[in-house]
Structure 1
Amino acid sequence: MYIGKLNSKASGLAGNYSFLYRGTNHHFPPNKIFISDDIENKEIPFGTGSLCKGNPIGWKWDSVMDVGVDIKVNLTKECFIGAVCISLLEGSAVQAVEVFSVNKDNHRCIGRYDAQTDSILEGSFNIPVGIKAEVLIIRFKASLKDIVISKLDIIGAVIDDKPIIYPTPVSAKYGQKSIPMNSIKAIATDDDSEDINFAIKYLQERIFERFDINLPLQKKNNACSSDDNSSPLFVNKKEYLISINMCENIKTEGYKIIIDDKGISFSASTRLGLLYAIETFIQICSNGEVPICEIEDYPYKPFRGFHFGLPPREEIEFAKRLIRYVLIPMRYNTLFIEFAGGMRFDKHPEISEAWLQGNRAAKMGLQPPFPHGDMVAGGELLEKDEVRDFIEYARSFGFEIIPEVQSFGHVQYITYAHPDIAEVEEISKDSENKNVDTRLADQPPSKFYHHSYCPSNEKSYEIIYDIIDEIVEVVKPKHYVHMGHDEIYQIGLCPLCKDKDHAELYAKHVTRMHDYLQKKGLGMMIWSDMLQPTEKYLTPPAINKIPKDIVMLDFIWYFHFDIDMEDHILPYGFNVIMGNMYSSHYPRYESRIAKKGMLGGEVSTWCRIDEYNLAKKGKIFDLLYSAEMLWSDTYNSDAREAYTDIIQKMIPKIRDELRGISKPENAQIVSIPITLPETSSSSLPNAIKAYIENISTSLQNVIIDKYIFDLSRTQRLSSTPIEACVNNKFSKLIFLHATTNNAQRVAWKSLTKVGEYVIKYSDNTEVVIPVEYAGNICVWSRRYAKPMPQQYYRHQGYIATYLSDPLIRAKTESGQDITVLGYEWVNPYPDKQIKAIYCSGNDSTDADILLFAISGIR
């Protein structure tokens, strides 16, 4: 599937565009700036004319007046329209731009961009759409100014009948035929290597999970038919074999798939590459058929990472499923795992005991939250065997494991047990940090804990070396250890350091860590904020004093949207990884990642690793979206809506896999609408009323996706519960809902509860389902997965993208978004009969719940 600029030759569309007087079919050629094609042709083919050649076109103000001009774009086939991207030349302006879908004489507004009150539109702007269309009208509403357009790109996806592979492969060529899945007889191999055997087992498991097919293994020399001309992958006219091969000529972590009438072949040069090939194969299998195709693929960037803390003991199995069902299919290859005090240290039991005591006291409210306590092992303590088992599980797939050992700063896990090495003033001037503007900076941790240790105290080195030794012994990293070194708020304070240059102190510590790891045959990574000249620290001169083979992770890009922060690091010879790379916020990504020395990026969690917290912070969606950025060199940030459309269709299956309840794709579900009680006054927003009234089928049995709903009693909830009678057994319930307004989303805090659904069983037991804004519900007028663009939300860039699915995505009459989410609740007691569901809102906010319908799933 092509994703990119649709009004271009590259799209393969035989489309055209034309210029019309606003609201008419009358030709209106540009009269200020143009080339000859714009005048001579009423319908200008893609690839010709100003708009396709990158030349500006324009109309004089006295010809458009306060009316305007339409640009009609005929794509010649229905495509997914992600966004319309527009640039106006300086001095040019309009009142608004509207996008219409045209079907015969019917014009439907599907997007708009308006000037603010008493203002005009100038410069560059994008109009999100997210709708399928074949013919578009882009309407420029004039404001007594010249209209000069330097760019008009229709960004989207060309819809075809070919399977969608995500992330986008380098090359995928399809034939006209397909192979029935039930004709695949076995996996054939004569290679008994560990990598091949691992890949075979993985393929067998994935094929069984997804398609309920058991594929046996047989040797190639036993697979040939008696026909001398037959392929070893072809058994007879109705049966085929899968071959898995190691091939040194394929790029690192790349793969090749060939499916033809001779059989199916996967090839790669690494184990992880073979697993990527298998996941691509899983994606292209559909409706019991495997397409004839040839796929070649390899990564754009070598580091595609995920940063998280050691999982809590009770979430280790979830973390393993996250690796298997998200990170491998999405082509990640590196795990950055922060340890802090979350693993028992044999040489320093006092650190482990202090970690437990401090975290437990914090959870009881006896002292401030322990820094990074909740995100690392849930504030508890993992035994080395538990950590080793988890690491070996991840490494078995081929992941690079890079432990993060916080050193110099963020070492409260050490100084809480060893206050004698803490970097503190002889007489403390402030007992507590002042609050900072968290839109522009991170809030420093409580001074109740000592943030840094003294870099001039040899005991600091003795302890950190011991910790490094124990972590390296358990993890056995192959190439790197991440040594932290970020946000060193306390430096040069103690009697040993107060008269020393901060840059010298920093460089000394960095170099000693580097040299210690080098003796172990390991490289070093660190966060790079202390070397950035934009910050308040006095350490940037150290950039000339530390080894150049240290890999820098830049994360403070999100404090400086207007600066390419890597340009302060790359010229000194360092390689850089985009640290805390969040797809919701990263500006100018395509140009920045292409720079020499940019190795890739890593998505960070900074929260306890479990399904709820990752969903709450938008991290699972972020992982899925960021995968395209790191894997494919064709990534186009303007195509966000096209990628989002692909991702949102993947999430329901991923959600079941992460929960361990996934069923094969041929498993049937039964959806039964649950009727809501009648209401005397629904009090629905006008746009929602209009949407429901325009539904052409019976409201009692509306099919949305694969679910059946009764929309006839859509209503606004109040603090008085309504009762929906059920008297049935269900494995899941789908709540189709939205809110009237948004509620607060406060970073690092609990989500705002706007109501609850109480499930009452026939034995009178109950389960209460919180309805939380930005978690499982969102305002009806917000586009699904629209980023929270402000710097304040840098770590929580997406809301309500995982727990609920956008079952209704529509437009108002004026082209604004309508999104209604289907929240999927998994019944913990599927064998118990549900007697009734009690649904209510609350009066704590004006974000009232609009409950459209409920459907029960078997």
Structure 2
Amino acid sequence: MSMLTRREFLQAAGGAAMSRTMVHRAPFLAQGAVTAQAMNSEGIHSGASAPIQSLIFPAPREISISENDFVLDDQVRIVIPSNASEEDLFLANSLVNEIGDRFGLYLKIDRVENLDTQQRFILMGSRSNSLLGQCYSHLALSKDDDSTVPEGYLLRVEKNIVFVAGGDDRGVFYGMQSLRQLLISQDSRLYFKGVHIRDWPDKSFRGIYLFLPGRDNIAFFKRFVRDYMALYKFNTLIMEMGASMRLDKHPELNYGWVQFARDANYSCRNYPPGPFHDVEQNSSHQDTADGGFLEKEEVADLARWIKKHHIELIPEIASFTHSYYLLTRQKELAAVPENKWPDIYCPTNAKSYSLVFEVYDEYIDLLKPKSIHIGHDELFLPVGASPHCADTDIGELFGEDVCKIHDYLAAKGIKTQLWGDMLLESVRGVGLKKHVSPDGWTYQTPGGMTPEQVERLIPKDCLIFNWFWNKEEGSESDAEANEATLDKMGFQQVFGNFTPDMKNYETRKKRTTLLGAAPSSWAATNEFNFGKDLMINFLGSSSILWTGQVMQPDALIVQVQSMLPDVRGRLSGITPPSITEKVITPFDISERFNADHKLTSLGIDLPDLKTAVIYLQKVPFDLKLANGRSAIAVGVEGKGSSGLPGVTGISIGEAVSSLIFLHAAARPATSKESFRLIWDQQDTADLLGWYEVAYEDGFVTTIPIRYGVNILEWSWGKKTGAHSYCYGADALPIGRHSDSDATFFAYEWINPRLGKVIEEIRLKGTKGFRGGSNDFNNSYGPVIESNAVILKAVSGVRKRS
């Protein structure tokens, strides 16, 4: 385990394992059919048939249905005290915007001294809100009914009152997040579902680790904070910074960072070119801020936004290890100066700390953080290549470095956090480890610090991120013993690189020094990466850390896939035409059918499928059978032959607002993590083919068909080894019989040229596509297996008359 990296661990422990878990998904398919019927014209779940446990995510500790729903109209008021606090105003305005932006009903906010119980109103506040006592009395509640646990809340939805009370500001804020999820539109009626809730979190540290977004993804990032992290009750954001903010004292680092990112990406490498003897370097993270840097004003604005949503921002500013950003223009400080892009500074050079602290100070002055994460993982220093470290105990240097940075931060009232792998010999090994480079050079890397060194050198108020909580197959490291060792050493810890399939979590969480956990994103902060890779990890972690209960993999996948239409709408900021428009009709594509239920060359035999018009929400699909054929199948030529045509054309002849394709892959493919191809992240999701949209004026645009992004295999409901969910398309069961596992995926493409007539669509399959590698290297993976895209139906949203 001595050379194991965080991302290799993530693959072994959870991220990849979760996406390949053996799950029979029939329960979701049945639920999906019911859900589709229960959706209204705005696409909001009616709640009529939803079980009470699924109304809110993560599930509340205590929830029951009240006698009446609270109907929303223009007579409803949101009431705040006459001396309302800034937080009272923020909550009220947030709810006004939530309801108004989605449904056009903008409620009025009234400042009042006393509650008018004859009026229908919404009241939200913490114990400092002077109106809460009156509402407690009116509802005959004890003030102790709201949880005294930090971040806990009480929520009651009655016929004439919506009441959200929190023991603190975070508590009422999370109560409002639950209220947002109770908003239902059905049959021209807008209301909050009637419930009584008492709720509080299991863990106090509920985080996500991610990269600072690039400028083009700031809007997405703000939606992610407001409509995902806050909505699902995360309270901590660890953000990797590097030189991705303009540094006034060291602008050369910004320039160097951009050159570093370009060199890695334009060389088509995950790791930088030119390492000494081609020795392994990793965690270059050149997609932080999309390979650029933000102005200080932009970073400050993000910090304000994060804080406003009750999330603590912890900047991760790596030092000692993974310090590429510090050394791009300061190579004289490198431990191994022969590297083209050094990643470890020399801790024996005092000038290293002058640079580190000047960079830290710029972030501290701007962000005023309570804590800073200093990195310090994966010390793969080739000891003999370092002119000043070759004869020095690296454990001593490592510990002295941590202590020096800790003391500098502590003098400013800032706590230190770091990755903990180098503190344990059980993780990094004992003493120096021998390695041979690709060119035959023999070198040694350091093992972990000795227990004596940790006791003597590492301050015990450091918060340790434990990413080695899972036993890697073949490893001698005992995962549970690792966290026990950190405990005995006197540290508090959180599980880093967390995934929701941790073994024995419900017992391990009882350790009093375990504060919580944080899943990680190790690729650029954008919707594509988060959507295809991280919904299971993020939402599963939210549930575990709030409820304290582990969701079984099949139940979690069911839950996540059912949530994705709403998640997708919030994260993209786009409401598709199928939600807002009334006229949606199927196209007759049967004259291009070329396949029946068997694709003999691929060994595929589909079960009996429906042959009627069926609906997903309000989108109709015409599942015709014509001359014994029921679909269009186009080959994906990879290893072996598909035996199918590579292209087919489908007549449209209309100017539509959007097209909805009902399609599936013949076989499972792969969607690897985006960090497998940092320079080409889109292609980490296997490209099976594309639709060419040909307009009557000759212009052609394309729609990629990517596995796990907008398509999965038809047998997704029963097979193993498949991607867990499809972020960009919705599952629709189309088997003729209830026990027939056949699922196709409805993907809506919005026409970028509204009013332009689409002459035809051409479905094409790829040839010899290579995506991401299973290994952590600098190359594409092998050619994918041959496959097919099966198109069952196409429907269109007509333009308004």
TM-score category of the 2 structures, normalised to the smaller one: 0.7 to 0.9
Relative to the length of structure 2, the TM-score reads: 0.77
Give 1:261 shift.
Answer: 4.2
Aligned residues: 660
Using a 3 Å threshold, how does the CA distance of structure 1 residues 179 and 621 change in structure 2: closer, same or farther? Answer: same
Deviations 1:720-756 (A, max 9, x none): 3222222223333222222122335555132322111
2:398 aligned with 1:486, yes or no?
no
Q: Which residue of structure 1 lines up, in the alignment, with residue 550 of structure 2? A: 636
2:221 aligned with 1:319, yes or no?
yes
Higher mean C-alpha deviation, range 491-500 or range 463-472: 491-500
Q: Please give the alpha-carbon distance, in whole angstroms, between the structure 2 residues aligned to 1:131 and 1:396.
A: 36
Q: Please give the alpha-carbon distance, in whole angstroms, between the structure 1 residues aligned to 2:516 and 2:719.
A: 24
Q: Please give the alpha-carbon distance, in whole angstroms, between the structure 1 residues aligned to 2:566 and 2:223.
A: 13
Q: Please give the alpha-carbon distance, in whole angstroms, between the structure 2 residues aligned to 1:315 and 1:735.
A: 28
Q: Which residue of structure 1 lines up, in the alignment, with residue 149 of structure 2? A: 251
2:765 aligned with 1:841, yes or no?
yes
Higher mean C-alpha deviation, range 202-211 or range 485-494: 485-494
What is the SS of the residue equivalent to 2:98? helix
Q: Please give the alpha-carbon distance, in whole angstroms, between the structure 1 residues aligned to 2:99 and 2:719.
A: 31
Relative to the length of structure 1, the TM-score reads: 0.72
What is the SS of the residue equivalent to 1:637? coil
Q: Which residue of structure 1 lines up, in the alignment, with residue 320 of structure 2? A: 408
Q: Please give the alpha-carbon distance, in whole angstroms, between the structure 2 residues aligned to 1:784 and 1:455.
A: 55
Q: Which residue of structure 1 lines up, in the alignment, with residue 427 of structure 2? A: 534
What is the SS of the residue equivalent to 1:534? helix
Give 1:823 shift.
Answer: 2.2
Q: Which residue of structure 1 lines up, in the alignment, with residue 465 of structure 2? A: 553
Alpha carbons 2:536, 2:556 under 8 Å: kept: no
Higher mean C-alpha deviation, range 310-319 or range 254-263: 254-263
**Structure 2 counterparts to residues 603-614 of structure 1, below 5 A:** 603-614=519-530
- Specify which structure has the bigger relative contact order, considering alpha-carbon pairs within 8 angstroms and separated by 6 or more residues: 2
Using a 3 Å threshold, how does the CA distance of structure 1 residues 730 and 306 change in structure 2: closer, same or farther? Answer: farther
Q: CA RMSD in A?
A: 3.0
Q: Please give the alpha-carbon distance, in whole angstroms, between the structure 2 residues aligned to 1:311 and 1:825.
A: 26
Q: Which residue of structure 2 lines up, in the alignment, with residue 684 of structure 1? A: 597
Using a 3 Å threshold, how does the CA distance of structure 1 residues 804 and 831 change in structure 2: closer, same or farther? Answer: same
Q: Please give the alpha-carbon distance, in whole angstroms, between the structure 2 residues aligned to 1:263 and 1:578.
A: 41
Q: Which residue of structure 2 lines up, in the alignment, with residue 823 of structure 1? A: 747
Residue 787 of structure 2 aligns to which amino acid in structure 1?
A
What is the SS of the residue equivalent to 2:427? coil
**Structure 2 counterparts to residues 573-652 of structure 1, below 5 A:** 573-583=490-500, 585-616=501-532, 618-633=533-548, 635-638=549-552, 640-652=553-565
Deviations 1:752-802 (A, max 9, x none): 2211101122332221111122332222223499787xxxxxxxxx55531
Q: Please give the alpha-carbon distance, in whole angstroms, between the structure 2 residues aligned to 1:643 and 1:738.
A: 22
Q: Which residue of structure 1 lines up, in the alignment, with residue 3 of structure 2? A: none
2:68 to 177, 189, 193: 177
Using a 3 Å threshold, how does the CA distance of structure 1 residues 646 and 665 change in structure 2: closer, same or farther? Answer: farther
Residue 763 of structure 1 aligns to which amino acid in structure 2?
D
Q: Which residue of structure 2 lines up, in the alignment, with residue 569 of structure 1? A: 486
Q: Please give the alpha-carbon distance, in whole angstroms, between the structure 1 residues aligned to 2:753 and 2:718.
A: 31
1:387 to 272, 291, 299: 299
For structure 2, the 5+ residue unaligned runs are 1-21, 32-48, 129-146, 273-282, 430-445, 625-629, 636-644, 678-682, 769-784
Using a 3 Å threshold, how does the CA distance of structure 1 residues 304 and 339 change in structure 2: closer, same or farther? Answer: same
Q: Please give the alpha-carbon distance, in whole angstroms, between the structure 2 residues aligned to 1:666 and 1:267.
A: 34
Give 1:654 shift.
Answer: 2.0
Q: Please give the alpha-carbon distance, in whole angstroms, between the structure 2 residues aligned to 1:785 and 1:270.
A: 47
1:724 to 632, 637, 650: 650
Q: Please give the alpha-carbon distance, in whole angstroms, between the structure 2 residues aligned to 1:669 and 1:680.
A: 28
Residue 523 of structure 1 aligns to which amino acid in structure 2?
K
**Structure 2 counterparts to residues 699-778 of structure 1, below 5 A:** 699=612, 701-712=613-624, 713-718=630-635, 719-747=645-673, 748-749=676-677, 750=683, 751-778=685-712
Using a 3 Å threshold, how does the CA distance of structure 1 residues 587 and 161 change in structure 2: closer, same or farther? Answer: closer
Higher mean C-alpha deviation, range 737-746 or range 192-201: 737-746
2:43 aligned with 1:130, yes or no?
no
Q: Please give the alpha-carbon distance, in whole angstroms, between the structure 1 residues aligned to 2:269 and 2:192.
A: 59
Q: Which residue of structure 2 lines up, in the alignment, with residue 88 of structure 1? A: none
Q: Which residue of structure 2 lines up, in the alignment, with residue 544 of structure 1? A: 455
Deviations 1:429-488 (A, max 9, x none): xxxxxxxxxxxxxxxxxx5422211111111111111111011112211x2100000111
Give 1:589 shift.
Answer: 2.7
More strand by share: 1
Q: Which residue of structure 1 lines up, in the alignment, with residue 9 of structure 2? A: none
**Structure 2 counterparts to residues 1-16 of structure 1, below 5 A:** none
Give 1:127 shift.
Answer: 6.7
Alpha carbons 1:456, 1:496 under 8 Å: kept: yes
Alpha carbons 1:684, 1:850 under 8 Å: kept: no
Alpha carbons 2:55, 2:181 under 8 Å: kept: yes
2:151 aligned with 1:277, yes or no?
no
Higher mean C-alpha deviation, range 652-661 or range 284-293: 284-293
2:290 aligned with 1:378, yes or no?
yes
Residue 408 of structure 1 aligns to which amino acid in structure 2?
F
Alpha carbons 1:311, 1:608 under 8 Å: kept: yes
Using a 3 Å threshold, how does the CA distance of structure 1 residues 688 and 555 change in structure 2: closer, same or farther? Answer: same
Alpha carbons 1:784, 1:801 under 8 Å: kept: no
Q: Which residue of structure 1 lines up, in the alignment, with residue 404 of structure 2? A: 512
Alpha carbons 2:647, 2:763 under 8 Å: kept: yes
Q: Which residue of structure 1 lines up, in the alignment, with residue 575 of structure 2? A: 662
Residue 356 of structure 1 aligns to which amino acid in structure 2?
V
Alpha carbons 2:496, 2:519 under 8 Å: kept: yes
Using a 3 Å threshold, how does the CA distance of structure 1 residues 366 and 282 change in structure 2: closer, same or farther? Answer: closer
Deviations 1:387-420 (A, max 9, x none): 1111111111121000001000000111221111
**Structure 2 counterparts to residues 115-154 of structure 1, below 5 A:** 130=27
Residue 372 of structure 2 aligns to which amino acid in structure 1?
V
Give 1:824 shift.
Answer: 2.8
Using a 3 Å threshold, how does the CA distance of structure 1 residues 619 and 841 change in structure 2: closer, same or farther? Answer: same
Alpha carbons 1:674, 1:724 under 8 Å: kept: no
Give 1:366 shift.
Answer: 8.8
Higher mean C-alpha deviation, range 653-662 or range 342-351: 653-662
Alpha carbons 2:421, 2:448 under 8 Å: kept: no
Higher mean C-alpha deviation, range 770-779 or range 341-350: 770-779
Q: Please give the alpha-carbon distance, in whole angstroms, between the structure 1 residues aligned to 2:558 and 2:219.
A: 29
Q: Please give the alpha-carbon distance, in whole angstroms, between the structure 1 residues aligned to 2:582 and 2:505.
A: 41
Alpha carbons 2:333, 2:349 under 8 Å: kept: yes
Q: Please give the alpha-carbon distance, in whole angstroms, between the structure 1 residues aligned to 2:506 and 2:459.
A: 29
Give 1:559 shift.
Answer: 5.7
Which 4+ residue blocks in structure 1 deviate beyond 6 angstroms?
A: 125-128, 663-666, 686-689, 784-788, 809-813
For structure 1, the 5+ residue unaligned runs are 1-124, 135-157, 225-230, 429-446, 789-797
Give 1:512 shift.
Answer: 0.8
Give 1:678 shift.
Answer: 2.5
Alpha carbons 1:776, 1:823 under 8 Å: kept: yes
Q: Please give the alpha-carbon distance, in whole angstroms, between the structure 1 residues aligned to 2:98 and 2:568.
A: 16
Q: Which residue of structure 2 lines up, in the alignment, with residue 54 of structure 1? A: none
What is the SS of the residue equivalent to 2:388? coil
What is the SS of the residue equivalent to 1:605? coil
What is the SS of the residue equivalent to 2:597? coil
